[in-house]
Amino acid sequence: MPPQSHDLVRRSMSKIMLSDDLRNYLNRLPDMELDLLLEAYERPLPEAFRVNTLKASEEKILERLKSRGYSIESIPWARHGYVVSGGGDLGKSLEHMLGLIYIQGPVSMAPVEALDPRPGEVILDLCAAPGSKSTQIAQLLRGEGVLVANDISFDRVKALSSNLQRFGVLNCVITLVDGRKYPRFAKGFFDKVLVDAPCSSLGIISKNWGIARAWSIGIVERLSELQRRLILAAFDCLKPGGILVYSTCTLTVEENELVVNWLLENREGARVSEIRLKGLRHRPGITEYNGVRLRDEISKTMRIMPYDNWAEGFYIAKIVKEGG
Amino acid sequence: MRLLTSAERRYLIKRLEDQHGVEDAFDDLVLIRTGQGRIRATTKETYEAACRLRRVQQVGLYVAKMVKGDVILSIEGSQLLGAAITKNIIELSEEEAEEWMKAAPIERSEKIESRYVIARCGDFYLGSGRVSRDGKIYPQVAKWRRIPEE
């Protein structure tokens, strides 16, 4: 989708309220176009879903949806992913209730594509609830191998459990553990680990403007500390040669590049790997921030602004544990 | 949460054969008993991985529930058995399937002898329904799974 005219940008700027702290913070970020960001925040996110190939053939499910008046367009970077328009409320459809589709943002599908699950692998989703990415991993495992979906919150685990059930996942285990403590019993156990970390969510403000109102640098610093512990735990749970994907739906450097840089400085065997996702517009990770030079390999990580694809903003890093 | 004993497993398989004509149901899967007669199915590898982990909340997929000697299949349990279900199965239209997923009773003109039937809409299986004395079929769809009323 092309950017809209400057008139529209000005009009949208008048609607969204950012605190001075947040505006100043965003303005300081390298490569930031604040007008476009505000415009993206004003737009509703595109509605998208994945077809559940664990339950039926892709063609059959798409045919059903088309016959009900939905217009469907494939998402280039996500296998089985589609953007949808027209038709009724997808969340109340028979297809959704039967688990034939899973409603999920288009860019939110990218971290699992970067992880690239293969049948037979043992994979941990460390912060799994409500289960969008867990169901995506399960789909790509095709019933072979094991998915371990973990979360720290009992209430959120209930939603995770419902979604894995609706999706029809046989080869899954749900655990309720503080992710930071996972290596105590599962060190070196997994082929791949996904950390879709809790974050300040600046990439999805269009879903909920309250995020912008609640934002503070104090929250970011606290989250950054938690994220550092989580990424380290996730790395320690990997087998040698294993792959870790770290992702957030936020834009702050403290929660993204600085977290990955911290891992690289604290684990000798950690190496950043290139991510290739067809058609997903993005920019390289930031390697210089507040006068501090980060590791060069951070530039291989992916920073996705909401206005890059007129969808969610995300950060994705793929890390390989040497020695496989 | 514990594995089904071989006697429990034999009983479940026998009931599924009697009720729905399924032979050797869930043959290649590990079956786990959880609370309230619920049965979950998973792979051997998944079960072994679960044994290594801590604070395990759930393993595998909820497939069935035993109630007073009858087997009630979940939506996923019936989908998993699919074409192996040959007895006490009713075919629903798209409109009826929507009603079923709202847990609305379905009327059938033909007499059904069994206490439970499985509903199917084309290639998709929608789990068990209880046959009432008034001839209506009450879908056993969990509340969280129902299509909300307008």
**pLDDT score at A11:** 45
Q: How buried is residue A65: exposed, middle or buried, by Cβ count under 10 Å (0-12/13-18/19+)? A: buried
Q: Is the pLDDT confidence value at A130 over 60?
A: yes
**Within a 13 Å sphere around the CA of A92, how many CA atoms are in the beta-carbon half?**
9
User: Which positions in chain B touch A173 (Cβ < 8 Å)?
Assistant: 46, 49-50, 53, 56, 58-59
Q: CA-CA distance, A69 to A85, in Å (whole number)?
A: 9
User: Which positions in chain A touch B41 (Cβ < 8 Å)?
Assistant: 170
Q: Is the pLDDT confidence value at A120 over 70?
A: yes
Q: What is the mean pLDDT of chain A?
A: 94
User: Which positions in chain A touch B148 (Cβ < 8 Å)?
Assistant: 92
B125: phi then psi, degrees, rounded to nearest 5: -100, 140
User: Which positions in chain A touch B145 (Cβ < 8 Å)?
Assistant: 97, 162, 166
Nearest beta carbon to residue A172 from set B60, B74, B94: B60
**pLDDT score at A7:** 47
pLDDT band at A45 (very low <50, low <70, confident <90, very high): very high
Whether residue B42 and residue A100 make contact (CB cut-off 8 A), yes or no, is: no
Q: What is the mean pLDDT of residues B44-70?
A: 97
Q: CA-CA distance, B23 to A324, in Å (whole number)?
A: 44
pLDDT tens digits, B84-139: 999 999 999 999 999 999 999 999 888 888 999 999 999 999 999 999 988 899 99
Q: What sign has the CA pseudo-torsion B69, A161, A133, A267?
A: negative
A228: phi then psi, degrees, rounded to nearest 5: -65, -40
A173: phi then psi, degrees, rounded to nearest 5: -125, 135
Give the minimum alpha-carbon distance from A58 to chain B in angstroms, rounded to a whole number.
13
Q: What is the mean pLDDT of residues A176-197?
A: 98
Nearest beta carbon to residue B58 from set A94, A161, A166: A161
Q: CA-CA distance, A76 to A192, in Å (whole number)?
A: 23
Tokens of A181: 């403590």
**pLDDT score at A4:** 46
How many beta carbons lie within 10 A of that of residue B93, not counting itself? 10
Q: Is the pLDDT confidence value at A1 over 70?
A: no
Nearest beta carbon to residue B60 from set A56, A122, A170: A170
Whether residue B42 and residue A60 make contact (CB cut-off 8 A), yes or no, is: no
Tokens of B76: 């996923």
pLDDT tens digits, A134-159: 999 999 999 999 999 999 999 999 99
The residues of A assigned a catalytic role are 249
Q: What is the value of ipTM here, to two decimals?
A: 0.96
Q: Is the pLDDT confidence value at A61 over 60?
A: yes
**pLDDT score at A213:** 86
Cite the DSSP H helix spans in chain A: 6-13, 20-28, 34-42, 58-67, 94-97, 110-115, 132-141, 154-167, 183-186, 210-214, 217-236, 257-266, 306-309
**pLDDT score at A15:** 65
Q: Is the pLDDT confidence value at A165 over 90?
A: yes
Q: CA-CA distance, B73 to B62, in Å (whole number)?
A: 9
A22: phi then psi, degrees, rounded to nearest 5: -70, -40
Determine what percent of chain B is predicted with pLDDT higher than 70. Answer: 100
Q: For strand A190-196 and strand A122-125, is the pairing parallel, antiparallel, or unpaired? A: parallel
**pLDDT score at A16:** 72
Which positions in chain B have a beta carbon within 8 angstroms of at least one beta carbon in chain A? 29, 41-43, 45-46, 49-50, 52-62, 74-76, 79-80, 94, 97-98, 101, 123-124, 126, 144-148
Give the residue on A whose Cα is nearest the Cα of B58. Answer: A174
Give the minimum alpha-carbon distance from A212 to chain B in angstroms, rounded to a whole number.
31
User: Which positions in chain A touch B42 (Cβ < 8 Å)?
Assistant: 170-172
**pLDDT score at B61:** 98
Q: CA-CA distance, B138 to B106, in Å (whole number)?
A: 7
Whether residue A176 and residue B80 make contact (CB cut-off 8 A), yes or no, is: no
Determine what percent of chain A is predicted with pLDDT higher than 90. Answer: 88
pLDDT tens digits, A276-320: 999 999 999 999 999 999 999 999 999 999 999 999 999 999 999
Determine what percent of chain A is predicted with pLDDT higher than 70. Answer: 95
User: Inter-axis angle of helices A132-141 and A154-167, to 10 degrees?
Assistant: 40
Q: Is the pLDDT confidence value at A200 over 60?
A: yes
Q: Quote the distance between the C-alpha of residue B44 and its chain's center.
A: 21
**pLDDT score at A319:** 98
Nearest beta carbon to residue B43 from set A93, A99, A170: A170
**pLDDT score at B149:** 78
Q: CA-CA distance, A250 to A203, in Å (whole number)?
A: 5
